[in-house]
């Protein structure tokens, strides 16, 4: 797991000295020694997975170091002072921020309270990387939700839809938002999730092919018009399709925008030209 984290960081930060990340790994392994997750896995796999999520989206080595250490002061004999002494004030500040945010997100299903908590998260996080670490922490917890009891799964999934997915959206981290929503949808509406996944899976190759062909058509047209652009496409995620079906009272066959193509350009005028 450490090797994969380091590879992702090196891809985004080829000149960075990653010694601090290796040292954080060594401390986390020692600190969490003997601890297990509910699934039976060594506990240290969780902070490492959170660190991997951040490394993959290009977050800096200091924040990734803090992600590896984010549960150490709360769950082990090492204190926040130990973290600061070994890794510096910046890492310790991020770890402390994640601990503080965690205390505010334990109980809420009421929408107005959820909005207050989202605002509190953003207001309290002097460094936005604290929120990013918390999002990565939650995403890995959602990926491994099945190990928990059903009532805990439902509570955490609702909280994810109310607090964490909207936070990811507000910060523009779409890949995390979409995955959080789909994982929460899978827990909260398992039958609807399975049925929709089954129906879309039969059309997946056609959907992906459509996106690829559209991009192939658009790219030379944009270049011919002198527009520099980045193009990306994806089949839309299950939760967004399901929400649209609910809102319109429609069947899947009546929902046509099941894919999206994004064109990123440098200037507003290029949007209109595109």
- Catalytic residue list contains 221: no
What DSSP element (H or E) covers 117? helix 111-124
- Residues, the chain, total? 274
How far, in Å, CA of 99 to CA of 117, rounded? 15
Cα-based angle 32, 3, 86 (whole degrees, multiple of 5):
50
Which of 74, 195, 228, 266 is an active site residue? 74
How far, in Å, CA of 172 to CA of 27, rounded? 32
* Other CB atoms within 10 Å distance of the CB of residue 12: 15
Which of 75, 212, 266, 267 is an active site residue? 75
Q: What's the number of CA atoms in the CB half-sphere (13 Å) around residue 4?
A: 10
φ, ψ (nearest 5 deg) of residue 56: -65, -30
- Cβ neighbors of 244 (< 8 A, separation 6 or more) are 250, 255, 257
How far, in Å, CA of 128 to CA of 28, rounded? 23
- Catalytic residue list contains 208: no
DSSP code of 77? S
Please report how the helices 190-201 and 238-248 are oriented relative to each other, as an axis angle in degrees rounded to 10.
110
Catalytic annotation, residues: 74-75
């Amino acid at each position: 797991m450490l090797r994969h984290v380091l590879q992702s960081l090196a891809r985004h930060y080829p000149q960075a000295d990653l010694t601090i990340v290796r040292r954080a790994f060594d401390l986390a392994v020692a600190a969490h020694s003997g601890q297990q997750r509910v699934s039976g896995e060594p506990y240290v796999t969780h902070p490492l997975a959170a660190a991997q999520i951040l490394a993959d989206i290009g977050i800096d080595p200091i924040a990734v170091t803090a992600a590896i250490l984010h549960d150490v002061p709360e769950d082990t004999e090492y204190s926040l002072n130990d973290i600061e002494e070994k890794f510096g004030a910046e890492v310790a500040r991020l770890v402390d921020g994640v601990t503080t945010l965690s205390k505010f997100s334990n109980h809420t299903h009421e929408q107005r309270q959820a909005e207050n908590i989202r605002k509190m998260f953003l207001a309290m996080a002097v460094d936005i990387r604290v929120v990013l670490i918390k999002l990565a922490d939650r995403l890995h917890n959602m990926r491994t939700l099945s190990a928990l009891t059903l009532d805990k799964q439902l509570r955490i999934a609702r909280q994810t839809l109310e607090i964490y997915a909207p936070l990811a959206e507000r910060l523009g981290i779409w890949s995390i938002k979409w995955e959080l929503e789909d994982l929460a949808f899978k827990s909260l509406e398992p039958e609807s999730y399975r049925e929709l996944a089954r129906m879309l899976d039969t059309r997946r190759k056609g959907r992906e092919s459509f996106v690829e062909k559209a991009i192939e058509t658009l790219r030379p047209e944009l270049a011919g018009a002198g527009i520099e652009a980045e193009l990306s496409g994806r089949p839309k995620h299950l939760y967004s399709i399901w929400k649209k079906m609910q809102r319109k009272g429609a069947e899947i066959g009546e929902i046509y925008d099941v894919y999206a193509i994004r064109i990123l350009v440098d200037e507003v005028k290029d949007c209109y030209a595109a």
